[in-house]
Chain A
């Protein structure tokens, strides 16, 4: 069998379990994905004769709220994982539930932002700034949805694993958390770059 097993045992050669290596390889590829788009942003901006301040089109108070919401959701994700390590399953569910809700709040606010743009006729085709704005925030939004889907699975049906293999389930939540923190990290850069500069 050549398949790499999903085990929670730490391998002596890497010092890590396979799942941890896999999620970090994935996160490294995500850095490249967003990195390429950040590079595009820099190139477009440096090459443009004029560049509108983000506030011309974007709602800074809403984005600030979204930043706080996303940072808060990262903390509750840490608390959810910590609850599992301590064997407190109901607290885990509470904190992961809050994390998912925060993701939902983020998306609802994003929906209002997008609606306002469309209402004013600000579309990706309007200008280069809006094109890169919609590309970056749209891709980030898809990541929020993806992270929420994984978290919702772990909150709901996926949590059945807790009854049979606690360590394995805790490991899954930890890896889902690493992805969620990356989503937070990307937004930390998107917020000033798109809205404030």
Chain B
């Protein structure tokens, strides 16, 4: 559908076009509501991340906790802001490909280093 008028023409006319628009409006409203909910969750989790830092946990526990929270936050952003929850399968495959290249990249050097610095 193409509109030639500028600024704020709302789809208020009859016919199938407005029915489709109404449907997508409801979808968008739902999307916005979940985005605001995710926003609140991200703020709380940011608070938890910084709060955990004040606890001065042992290094290993601090790393595990901070990365766990970051992973939850990252998943929320990817799933709802980037709407991966309702995305086509092709995109999942593209990301799985990227992840399967990234993981060896992350792990091989680390294993090498761990092997190299193992105390005798």
Complex CA–CA separation, A97 to B110 (angstroms): 43
A31-B39 contact given A87-B8, A185-B77, A188-B70, CB 8 Å threshold: no
Chain B residues near A178 (CB-CB < 8 A): 82
Complex CA–CA separation, A168 to B12 (angstroms): 21
* B75-104 interface with A by 8 A CB criterion: 77-78, 81-82, 88-91, 94-95, 97-99, 101-102
Which one of A74-82, A105-113, A129-137, A146-154 is at the interface? A74-82
Q: Helix, strand, loop or mixed for chain A's interface?
A: helix
Q: Is the CB of A79 within 8 A of B53?
A: no
A123 at the interface (CB under 8 A from B): no
Q: Is the CB of B50 within 8 A of A196?
A: yes
Chain A residues near B63 (CB-CB < 8 A): 197
* B8-54 interface with A by 8 A CB criterion: 8-11, 21, 24-25, 28-29, 31-32, 35-36, 39, 42-43, 46, 49-50, 53
Give the one of B10, B78, B109 with max A CB within 10 A: B109
Residue of B with least CB distance to A182: B82
Chain B residues near A191 (CB-CB < 8 A): 49, 70
A163 at the interface (CB under 8 A from B): yes
Q: Is the CB of B9 within 8 A of A87?
A: yes
Question: Which of B11, B66, B94, B106 contacts A196 (CB under 8 A)?
Answer: B66
Give the one of A29, A35, A71, A163 with max B CB within 10 A: A71
Q: Is the CB of A89 within 8 A of B35?
A: no
B contacts with A, residue count (CB < 8 A):
59
| Distance to closest chain A CB from B113 (angstroms) | 5
| Distance to closest chain A CB from B56 (angstroms) | 10
Complex CA–CA separation, A93 to B36 (angstroms): 19
A25 at the interface (CB under 8 A from B): yes
Question: Which of B59, B98, B110 contacts A39 (CB under 8 A)?
Answer: B110
Complex CA–CA separation, A184 to B75 (angstroms): 12
Chain B residues near A139 (CB-CB < 8 A): none
Q: Is the CB of A24 within 8 A of B91?
A: yes
B120 at the interface (CB under 8 A from A): no
Complex CA–CA separation, A167 to B21 (angstroms): 12
Identify the B interface with A (CB < 8 A).
Answer: 1-11, 21, 24-25, 28-29, 31-32, 35-36, 39, 42-43, 46, 49-50, 53, 59, 62-63, 66-67, 69-70, 73-74, 77-78, 81-82, 88-91, 94-95, 97-99, 101-102, 105-106, 109-110, 113-114, 116-117
Identify the A interface with B (CB < 8 A).
Answer: 14-16, 20-21, 24-25, 28-29, 31-32, 35-36, 38-40, 42-43, 46-47, 60, 64, 67-68, 71-72, 74-75, 77-79, 82, 85-90, 162-167, 177-178, 181-182, 184-185, 188-189, 191-193, 196-197
Those 5 A-B pairs whose CB atoms lie nearest each other, nearest first: A192-B66, A28-B98, A35-B102, A15-B88, A78-B35
